[in-house]
Structure formats: C-alpha cells, structure tokens
Copies of this chain bind each other. A is one copy, B any other.
Amino acid sequence: MAEIQVIPVASLPAIQPGDRLGCLIARSAVSLLPGDVVVIAQKVVSKAENRLVRLDSISPCSYAVEVGRFMGRDARLAEIILRETKRIVKMDRGILIAETRHGLVCANAGVDLSNVDGGTTASLLPLDPDASAFRISAELAESVGWMPPVIITDTFGRPWREGLVEVAIGLFGVKALRDYRGREDPQGLKLAATVIADVDQLASAAGLVFRKDSGIPACLIRGYEPAGEAGSARDLIRPPERDLFR
C-alpha cells in the first residue's frame, strides 16, 4: 500500500459568482496527475454558483422571527435557513439541526455567513452538489484532458462528539462507500457489517489543509485507491428505515 498525499491548492483567487472553479484549479500552482482526487470546500462552490442571499433582501415570516430569537441570530438569517429546511431534526438549546432538501442533516441547513462578505450575505449549499462536482470535473478536463474525480465537502458537527469535521456532500468519479461485507478478515472471519465511508475520510483528510482563516478551499489527494465504481453522495444518506436517530 502506497502513501497518500494531501496537496493544498494554495494559489486560488477569491471566488466570485460565475467563476469556473475547475479552470481556476487547473491554472493554479499544483499539477493534476491521473488518479488524483480533487476536493473542494462547499463555500467556494456556492460562491461560484451564486448560491448567495443578501440578508437585506429578506423579509422574515413570523416563525422565522421566533426561530431567530431561539437561535440568538438575525431573523432574516433564520428565514433563509427555514427556506433551505425540509425537516427540523432537533431544535434545542439555541441549535437547529435540519434535514436539507438533499437529505443532509446538519446545523442550520448548511446556511452560513462566514467567509462570504463579512456578515451581510448568507451562503447556501449548492442545489445539486453531485452536478457541481461533475461540472468542475468537466472544467478541469478542458485543461488536463481527462475528467478527474471531484468531491465537494462541508463542515458538519456530529452527535456525542465535540468539534466539526469535513464530510462529502457531492461527488463525481469516485465511490462513496468501500464495502467489505462478505469479505474475510486475515483470520478467515466474514466481515459482517463493515462498510467504510471512504469519501468522508477523503473529505476529512482534505479538512486538514482547509483552514477557516487561511483561504485554502481546495486540495488534491494523491495515492488513493478507488473503492469501486463511481457513485453519488446520495449513497451516504441513510434511508429513514435504517435511521435510528430520525
């Protein structure tokens, strides 16, 4: 087994709506090799796709005023969060855990003011993060001549554990899960329940070079051995019938 490298893409400009992220990464200081996985933080994808909403464009409904009070945040931000929410999973102690239209479960339905314009504009998750990953791969292909695997990540909390980690919310050209079921361990015991979320581990590895204050929103991961045929980030979403914490 070879080593894995996580190579930050350090020379990207500040991303603006309409920017073609794949082209900017292709023009950056790093050279993409066959097999490299490109990992990109959601924030710059949302900016490039203009998934931005100015707070002063929003009139909060009365429930958003209530939710804003509960969260200790601006009611217009609460209104944007509610518009992105399909189902409220938990609302307690000032924290709102929501299921988004994509089926992702995270704080504030992925809506966030940081790293945009200093607090007057919210960023929303991409509408279809798999499609975003596909498009960025196609943009990269214009330069490199092949479509590299692309993972789009966001920073999520977890129940029971402190701290946030980077997880995959969209992907192209890479398989979400590595399935050991039916295989045997070195002692010949069948592995009963072992399915590893490879793309979440790739996302977290990328998270080590993404810094919230350093402006590194993308990296390459070199040396990763694919888990199988490429799939969708939807493969990471636990269906309701298997969800013990719904």
Contacts and interface: CB of A to CB of B under 8 A. Distances in A.
Interface of A: 1-8, 10, 14, 89-90, 92-93, 95, 97, 105, 113-119, 155, 158-167, 176-178, 180, 183-189, 191-192, 194-198, 200-202, 204-205, 207-209, 211-216, 224, 235-238, 242-245
A99 B63 CA distance: 36
A200 B161 CA distance: 10
B212 A191 contact: yes
A116 B187 CA distance: 7
Contacts of A186: 14, 115, 213, 215
- Please give the count of copies of this chain that the complex contains: 2
19 contacts: A1-B209, A1-B214, A3-B6, A4-B209, A5-B5, A114-B189, A119-B187, A155-B194, A159-B159, A161-B236, A162-B197, A164-B197, A183-B213, A191-B212, A196-B207, A201-B207, A201-B208, A208-B224, A245-B245
A196 B166 CA distance: 9
A164 B114 contact: no
A122 B185 CA distance: 14
A10 B211 CA distance: 30
A191 B113 CA distance: 9
